[in-house]
Structure 1
């Protein structure tokens, strides 16, 4: 009975997400080829209320081929309450732009960011709201352009069966100068809780810009480390 209830809810979630993901069709910049989006993210707890997040992303225009960018983000997170967290820090990005088949431009960026996350649960489902401000600037260039933007992400997670879950999110990017609309990201997939502190998920990922969109397969591995536990120290003292 429980399994049937989860499957029914999962089906409704998938249908709703797909419908929301299709506001219109835009030209794919890579001739409808799927790219890859690989994510390794983690959180190290260093105090009851403080932790250090870390996110690494590698993006390819084709599946594991034609390097797009490498992204690394870290900082410090403060737990305001059981449901809310504030995080601030910096990020580094290295990217390739393919202007022509044989013309590749490599650039580096430095980002400063601050974000607020609010989580809630109902039954076995969970919702997470995330609002982030980003200050992005080109570095190692004679023309250090600066861009400020705001991102809002709504994420939904629903258990399917035992340690397998359904996951979907939508994230809107708004520029604070120039064209307001930046992009919109949608993810629909499934994941598994390998251990209480290790999860993996995979699914369809889309980035929709004003005049084109990118289709990708997104694979993510996330972990949590609690450095406040003294088990390691006790073992070392023996």
Structure 2
């Protein structure tokens, strides 16, 4: 009952925040309109040192409106140590480009990536470094390839109980052409909803060379451990329930 109450309260807060932001910016110009970034990510542990990551993202230029892109990433992760992990895999991206109000161009991309993550904890604070290399391939009549490196520094600090503060900054650098790609900043709060599920929500900014994108980012993070033994107690006595 207590867990259900907390989950219901958090979901109500999330919906209220999204509705408030949508109303607040509904009458503003496109430049001042907040977009939405909905993310579902997690890991499925299949071995003591191996797991399968999965990330799904849907992005809208306006709050839950005007489709931007859908992204899905997966692969395999190897636990090098208690603090470090190496992951490699593939990703697919489908996006819309709005050149003119009536001119929408839809494209697809295939990504190959590899990343290294290093985590550290001190005084209940958590720091995580992530370095990722991406090879992005535009799929159409004249395929194009782009290579880039990303570095993210993430900070998480408990606030009260299962509620925590979360912030990160991520820099994107191209290996061909103009070096600077973009910079992403997130500041928000989250809550542990269940032993294997947590959610966070906050302000998300993507800064490119000539413009910024302002969004509300909602993320759900799950974990599954397929190596765990059956938690149900075993007994040789017959059940009394009929």
TM value normalised by structure 2: 0.83
What corresponds to 2:32 in structure 1? 32
* Matches for 1:58-97 after TM superposition, within 5 Å: 58-97=58-97
Residue 198 of structure 2 aligns with which residue? 199
- The aligned counterpart of 2:102 is 102
The offset of 1:49, in angstroms, is 0.1
CA separation of 1:146 and 1:234: change in aligned 2, threshold 3 A: farther
Measure how far apart 1:233 and its partner are.
Answer: 10
* Aligned-pair CA distance for 1:195: 1.4
What is the deviation of 1:30?
A: 3.3
Cα distance in 1 for residues equivalent to 2:32 and 2:231: 50
Find the structure with the greater CA-based Rg: 2
C-alpha RMSD of matched pairs (Å): 1.7
User: Which structure 2 residue ranges, 5 or more long, are not aligned?
Assistant: 1-28, 235-242
The CA deviation string for residues 11-65 of structure 1, in whole angstroms up to 9 with x for no partner, is xxxxxxxxxxxxxxxxxx9311000000000100000000000000000000000
1:230 Cα deviation after fit: 3.3
Structure 1 contact 30–214 (Cα < 8 Å) conserved:
no
TM-score by length of 1: 0.85
Who is 2:223 aligned against? 224
In structure 1, C-alpha distance between the alignment counterparts of 2:210 and 2:142, rounded to whole Å = 25
Q: Where does 1:61-210 land on structure 2 (aligned, <5 Å)? A: 61-139=61-139, 141-210=140-209
Number of residue pairs aligned between Structure 1 and Structure 2:
207
Please state how far the C-alpha of 1:196 moved relative to its aligned partner.
2.0
Q: Which has the higher contact order (CA 8 A, sep 6+)?
A: 1
Displacement of 1:143 in angstroms is 1.2
For residues 233 and 69 of structure 1, do their structure 2 counterparts lie closer, same or farther at Cα, with a shift above 3 Å needed?
farther
**Does the residue aligned with 1:177 lie in a helix, a strand or coil?**
coil
Residue equivalent to 2:11: none
Q: Distance in 2 between matches of 1:121 and 1:144?
A: 43
Within 1, Cα distance between the matches of 2:108 and 2:233? 43
Runs of 4+ in structure 1 off by over 6 angstroms are 232-235
| Offset from partner CA, 1:73-105 (integer Å, 9 cap, x none) | 000000000000000000000000000000000
Range that drifts further, 192-201 or 125-134: 192-201
Q: Gaps (5+ residues) in structure 1? A: 1-28
